[in-house]
Every structure is written in C-alpha cells, then in structure tokens.
C-alpha cells in the first residue's frame, strides 16, 4: 500500500509546489539543530529546490524571449503575486524557510544574467563576477541554448529586472553584483551632484570677479561677496578633492590660481595630458555660446549699466536658450557659464528691479583746482575720488581680464581704450608675451617711473598711512604696485 503524497511545504514562483524535505532529514519527535560545522539538511533542501526553480524560470524566460507566442504564464503578474506562505513545520516551533527558496531563486536568475554577459561581451578583460574556467560546462550549455537568440543582452537585463522586483517584493537582499551596481550608481549620482556644485561655484566666482557690479554697487558688498564665493570654491574643493581631476582644464586652472594649495595640485597632469572633450556639436549649444558671448560683450562695455535696451533682450534670449537644455551650461567656459547661471540677475538689472537700498550714496566730486600740484593730479585713466564708477570698474576689469576687449567691435574697443587709458590690449591666445600699458602698471610703468600708478588722492583724515607717508619722508608704494581701490 502506497503512502499518500505529502502536501507541499509552500507554493513557489508561478504556483510551482515546493515539497517538504524527506523525513530522514529531520526528527518528528523534536528537530535537532546540526552540530557546528555540519550542514543543515532542511535548509539545504529548500535552497536546492530554489536553485532548480530558478534554472527552470530562466529557461522559460529564454524560450519566451525567442518565441513571442510562447507564454506559459504572465511573468509580470506572477512577480506581483509572488508571496510564498509556508504551511509545513518540523514538529516544533515553525521556522520560515521561504527566504532560503527565494534567495536561491533570484541568485540563479542573476547567475544566468552573468553567464549571458560573459558569452556576449566584447572586451577582453576577465569578468569580475565569475570564473569562466570554473563555469565552462554551464557556458557551453548556454552557448548552445542561445546560439540563435536575438538581443541576448536584453534578456540579461530582463533577468536583472525580475531579480530586483522579486527582491523588493520579498525583502530579500540583492545578489552581490546587483548590490555593487546599485552602490556604484548611487556614488555616481552623488558625485554628479557634487560636481555640479563645484562647477557652478567656479562659474559664479568667475562672473563676480569680472562683473562685481551685478551683485551690488557697494564696493564693500562686492568684496564680501567675492570672499564668500572664494570660500565656497575652497570648501567644495576640499570636500570633493577626487572630483577635481574631472573638471575642465579652464576650471581646474581657475581653482589652482585661486587656491594654490587646492586639490588640483594632485591632478595637474589632467591639464596637459588629458585634453577636454570637444564641445557638443548641436545647434542649441552654438546658439547658447553665441548668446553668452554677445551678452558678455555688452556687459563689458562702459555704458552697460545704463544700456538696458541692449542688455535686457540679450539676457532674455540667454535665459530662454538655457531652458532648452540646462546641461549644456557646464560645457561653456567658466565666465560665460557663470553669466548663463546668473542671467536672471542681468534681467532684473535691465528692468530696474534690483534692490539698491543698501548701496551707499556717493558724495559729489569735490571741485579740483586746475593748477593743482602735478604730484596730486592722478594720471589719465586712474581711479579717483568721485570718478565715474563705470570707468573705475572698467579699469579694474581691464587690469584683471585684459583679454576680453578683444571681443569688442572696433568702435567699442576705442571707447574702452579711451576710458581706461590703455594703449594696447593683451592677447588671450598665448602667442607671445603679454604687454599691458593700462592704468594698473605693466611694461610701460616698469620702464618709465613717471607713469607709475599713484594712489587716489583722499582727504588727510582718511588717508592711509602708507599712502600719505610718501610725501613726508616715509615709505611709498613702489612703481608698478599701486592699484585703484
């Protein structure tokens, strides 16, 4: 007389019955745990059944991928419905063994994906996830099984998708490879965000250094904002020192010039041996770069603050182009990128919406005696008390960014030369030595002390000790070191 068949311990994936372990693997009078170092026969049983069902499911998915008409079950519906409930116990406190079955099931699916990728990868590097020599029999069998299979990598991705969904629904941990993939993806997302912050900080710093009046007309506020933006770059450089090597060469040079002890000193090789990738060849990028150059040229003009009719439409156009593809901003040079990131400030300036309540009221320029002593008359182009702020800022801008007047048309270039007293502009292409004879020193000042920059004439009560002492026998600024403030 045959014994009745035992009911399944639980139903596995797609309703496949999972049999209980053989009676000889446990004692009905009381299940004894295995001794240390011994394998639990009950756990081994459920683990082996899970592996077998995982291989069966992988074979079914392979056949379904090859034959679109073969659908033994609805895969997505079975994934959503999968929730095994164990109704079998060893006779004492019930222990849930469904997790062993599920772990083995998803492990085999992930392993099949690894084998498929090993068979179809194009590189010659060995796979870090499996040893081809150890799995040679499996690879040979799978090669025969998938010989006429189209898009095998899509099937491997489908295996991974099923593994992720089953692990999420049941709370089981992912196999090691998928766990590492997720970790790398999280790192990449975090590094990308940190890289965006560092790039934006450099761009904001460059824009403020070139056009500080966009932030405020108050020199004290301009200086404080410059310090804040410098500190921001320094903090992000310290936090993300590994990312600095992935900066574009021009941005890395900005950081190196701003922070000589920055992390870029470990990655200077990137500035020469690793050239920047070519800029995107797209119509939107070319339009964005052209619009940024046009707006920058307009803002560099001495009358930019009062020329809202020109600046406003250019800023609106730049903001519109940025909205089409914000990711293109990082491909621009730092100064133009900073201008794109701050186009809203330029728009507000052009519309007269900026808040100038904190800007100090400038006193009128004192009347000067035309017969004043020659040493008290500042030379042409030097900043002076009560001077036009546009001319003063343009002179400072020309001293630091002398290459930018090359962007100006001839008529505007003559206007800049007239306002700054510069006889020539330095070249920005690196061809030959740079010579500058503007108001802040240079080749002419060094050769002729009579053209040395002189500190602005201020009332005696506000004179700085180093400046006033030059007329009373004390130390004076050496030629070529003075700077309009």
Residue 192's pLDDT is what?
82
Task: Tell me the pTM.
Answer: 0.52
In the three-class reduction of DSSP (H, G, I as helix; E, B as strand; rest coil), residue 176 is classed as helix
Higher local confidence (pLDDT), 386 or 172: 172
Q: Return the residue matching tokens 């020193």.
A: 441
Torsion-angle region of 70 (φ positive above 0: left; ψ -120 to 50: alpha; else: beta): beta
> Whole-angstrom Cα distance, residue 288 to residue 282?
10
Residue 74's pLDDT is what?
93
Across residues 412-431, what is the average pLDDT?
A: 48
Query: What percent of the chain has a predicted confidence (pLDDT) above 90?
Result: 27
Q: Is the pLDDT of residue 434 over 70?
A: no
Q: Is the pLDDT of residue 221 over 70?
A: yes
How do 17-18 and 10-11 pair as beta strands? antiparallel
> Whole-angstrom Cα distance, residue 293 to residue 336?
7
> Whole-angstrom Cα distance, residue 345 to residue 381?
29
Residue 118's pLDDT is what?
84
Instruction: Name, in order, each residue with C-beta under 8 angstroms of 248's C-beta and a sequence gap of 6 or more.
Output: 276
Contact 139, 115 (CB under 8 A): yes
| Residue range 366-412, pLDDT digits in tens | 434 333 333 433 333 333 444 444 444 444 444 444 444 454 555 55
| Residue range 314-366, pLDDT digits in tens | 999 999 998 988 888 988 999 999 999 999 999 888 887 544 433 333 433 44
Residue 410's pLDDT is what?
56
> Whole-angstrom Cα distance, residue 236 to residue 199?
10
> Whole-angstrom Cα distance, residue 193 to residue 186?
11
Across residues 291-306, what is the average pLDDT?
A: 84
How far apart, in Å, are the Cα atoms of 164 and each of 29, 58, 71, 109? 40, 15, 22, 10
Residue 242's pLDDT is what?
67
Neighbours of 411 (CB within 10 A): 7
User: How big is the chain, counted in residues?
Assistant: 485
C-alpha 15, offset from chain centre: 47
Residue 246's pLDDT is what?
77
Joined together, the tokens standing for residue 273 give 């041996």
Joined together, the tokens standing for residue 163 give 């593994």
> Whole-angstrom Cα distance, residue 164 to residue 167?
5
Higher local confidence (pLDDT), 34 or 375: 34
Across residues 32-48, what is the average pLDDT?
A: 74
Across residues 109-132, what is the average pLDDT?
A: 77
Joined together, the tokens standing for residue 372 give 């004043």
Ramachandran angles phi, psi of 10, nearest 5°: -170, 170
In the three-class reduction of DSSP (H, G, I as helix; E, B as strand; rest coil), residue 344 is classed as helix
> What angle do the packed helices 176-210 and 334-341 form, to 10 degrees?
90
* Three-class SS of 179-194: HHHHHHHHHHHHHHHH
Across residues 185-213, what is the average pLDDT?
A: 89
Helix (H) or strand (E) holding 164: helix 152-170
Query: What percent of the chain has a predicted confidence (pLDDT) above 70?
Result: 59
Least confident of 76-80, 171-175, 379-383: 379-383
Compute, in degrees rounded to 10, the torsion defined by CA atoms 363, 367, 373, 374: 70
Q: Is the pLDDT of residue 447 over 60?
A: no
In the three-class reduction of DSSP (H, G, I as helix; E, B as strand; rest coil), residue 410 is classed as helix
What's the pLDDT band for 106 if we cut at 50, 70, 90?
very high
Contact 402, 425 (CB under 8 A): yes
Residue 59's pLDDT is what?
93
| Residue range 48-59, pLDDT digits in tens | 999 999 999 999
> Whole-angstrom Cα distance, residue 247 to residue 269?
12
Residue 24's pLDDT is what?
73
In the three-class reduction of DSSP (H, G, I as helix; E, B as strand; rest coil), residue 105 is classed as helix
Q: Is the pLDDT of residue 256 over 70?
A: yes
Closest CA to 115 of 156, 68, 66, 54: 156
Instruction: Supply the DSSP symbol for 371.
Output: T
Residue 101's pLDDT is what?
94
What's the pLDDT band for 479 if we cut at 50, 70, 90?
very low
Average pLDDT, the chain: 72
> Whole-angstrom Cα distance, residue 482 to residue 173?
67
E-state strands within 357-466: none
Residue 418's pLDDT is what?
55
Mean pLDDT comparison of 191-205, 244-258, 404-418, highest-scoring range = 191-205
């Amino acid at each position: 007389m045959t014994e009745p068949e035992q009911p399944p311990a639980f139903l596995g994936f797609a309703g496949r019955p999972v049999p209980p372990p053989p009676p000889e693997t446990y004692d009905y009078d009381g299940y004894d745990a295995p001794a240390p170092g011994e394998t639990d026969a009950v756990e081994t049983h459920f683990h082996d059944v899970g592996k077998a069902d995982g291989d069966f499911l992988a074979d079914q998915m392979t056949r379904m991928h090859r034959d679109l008409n073969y659908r033994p079950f609805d895969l997505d519906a079975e994934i959503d419905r999968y929730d095994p409930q164990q109704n079998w116990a060893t006779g004492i406190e019930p222990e849930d063994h469904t997790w062993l079955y599920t772990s083995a099931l998803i492990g085999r699916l992930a392993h099949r994906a690894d084998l498929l990728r090993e068979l179809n990868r194009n590189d010659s590097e060995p796979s870090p996830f499996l040893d081809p020599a150890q799995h040679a029999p499996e690879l040979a069998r799978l090669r025969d099984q998938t010989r006429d299979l189209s898009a095998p990598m899509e099937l491997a991705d489908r295996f991974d998708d099923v593994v992720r969904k089953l692990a999420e629904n049941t709370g089981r941990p992912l196999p090691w490879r998928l766990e590492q993939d997720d970790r790398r993806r999280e790192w990449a997302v975090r590094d990308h965000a940190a890289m965006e912050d560092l790039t934006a900080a450099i761009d904001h710093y460059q824009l403020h250094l070139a056009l500080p009046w966009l932030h405020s007309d108050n020199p004290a506020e301009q200086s404080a904002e410059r310090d804040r933006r410098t500190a921001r770059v320094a903090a992000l450089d310290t936090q993300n020192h590994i990312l600095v090597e992935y900066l574009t060469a021009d941005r890395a040079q900005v950081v190196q010039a701003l922070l000589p002890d920055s992390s870029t000193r470990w990655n200077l090789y990137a500035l020469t041996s690793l050239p920047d990738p070519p800029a995107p060849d797209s119509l939107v990028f070319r339009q964005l770069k052209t619009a940024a150059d046009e707006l920058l040229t307009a803002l560099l003009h001495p009358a930019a603050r009062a020329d809202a009719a020109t600046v406003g439409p250019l800023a609106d156009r730049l903001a519109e182009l940025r909205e089409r593809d914000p990711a293109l901003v990082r491909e621009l040079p730092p100064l133009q990128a900073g201008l794109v990131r701050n186009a809203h400030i330029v728009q507000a300036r052009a519309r007269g919406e900026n808040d100038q309540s904190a800007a100090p009221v400038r006193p009128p320029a004192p009347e000067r005696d035309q017969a004043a002593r020659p040493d008290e008359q500042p030379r042409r182009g030097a900043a002076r008390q009560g001077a036009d702020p546009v001319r003063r800022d343009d002179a400072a801008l020309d001293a630091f960014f002398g290459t930018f007047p090359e962007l100006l048309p001839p008529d505007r270039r003559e206007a800049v030369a007239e306002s700054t007293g510069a006889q020539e502009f330095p070249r920005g292409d690196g061809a030959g030595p740079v010579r500058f004879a503007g108001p802040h020193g240079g080749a002419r000042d060094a050769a002729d002390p009579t053209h040395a920059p002189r500190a602005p004439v201020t009332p005696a009560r506000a004179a700085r000790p180093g400046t006033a002492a030059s007329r009373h026998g004390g130390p004076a600024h050496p030629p070529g070191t003075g700077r309009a403030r």
